[in-house]
Chains A and B, each alone.
Chain A
Amino acid sequence: MALKVEDLKLNVERDNRVSLLELSTGNNGIVLDVPDNIMLSTLGIRKGKMLHCRGHQLFGGPVVIKTGDRQIALHRRLAEKITIQPV
């Protein structure tokens, strides 16, 4: 299921990595880099995983993402630390 990060880099010509915070609603991205945090890995946010942005909450609230079939709300500061490759 999970794509290898290395394979992906070969396939994408232009490196347009962004932070998860910059992924807009309805788009997908693959995790390239993620802080070492057991909660994140348990929730399925690990290198090579596909994330789908479900929306951004107002008032500086969290980013809601979907990975697999799990829905997760991440604080903006945390989302900023996660680097993704939009696909």
Chain B
Amino acid sequence: MSTTQHLQDFVTQVRRDILRQVHQVNSGHPGGSLGCAEYFSVLYQDVMEYSVDFDMDGKNEDLFFLSNGHISPVFYSVLSRSGFFPVKELNTFRKMDSRLQGHPTTHEGLPGIRIASGSLGQGMSVAIGAAQTKKLNKDTHLIYSLHGDGELQEGQNWEAILYAGSKGVDNLIATIDYNKKQIDGATDDVLPLGNLKKKFEAFDWKVIELKAGNDITAIKEALEKAKGLTGKKQPVVILMETEMGNGVDFMMGTHAWHGKAPNDEQLEKALSQNLETLGDY
């Protein structure tokens, strides 16, 4: 188990990586990436069992699927700092001939990625498929997945949610990045999601409400609780309330930084709020 201090330092460095990646190419999605820095860090540093000697089939290890692929900066930072590929490769994010495409892909062979994502709404189904194969293979490891809350507006999610609940896919822990924001504004203004807890429960899921989705300890507790609920004929979902842009004061409390990179001055200010811990790439 990692110490809380280590995880906090890890998160701070991940934030720097996110900001520096999107700043360098003046594109990408810092808001949601920052909002999920703690979740990714806890998942990869403390919760999942996996090998960094990457193998697509991932037998006898836990697997993670990112459905809202636009938050690739946080995924790339955490994968590299967990040992899947050299940290200095973050320098190639979104550049030509890079394995770090704008949205994650298996196509360029980046270790740690098992499916392309970006076109929203597909990851829940993919995660269910991988979970079913785990069962066929008598592999007791778990499938984790992350989805945007706005992404739940894609209808395919509800096909998948119905299927997983009805068929009792109980080796899957899905997490919803419940920041209540999307590109055009608040989800409540774009297309209200209503009561997500009741909706998932109505589809026969176990629901964990995580109010402090940017708190390392709370995330750990929620994931451990979720693990304890697996294997009981129901899928598990964590409604993780996060702050888009978390850790950078001027990026918080707004949807404006969903898909916008900071300029030089903004970068400097953001980095000054997150001092180097594990060494910049």
Q: Do A and B bind each other?
A: no
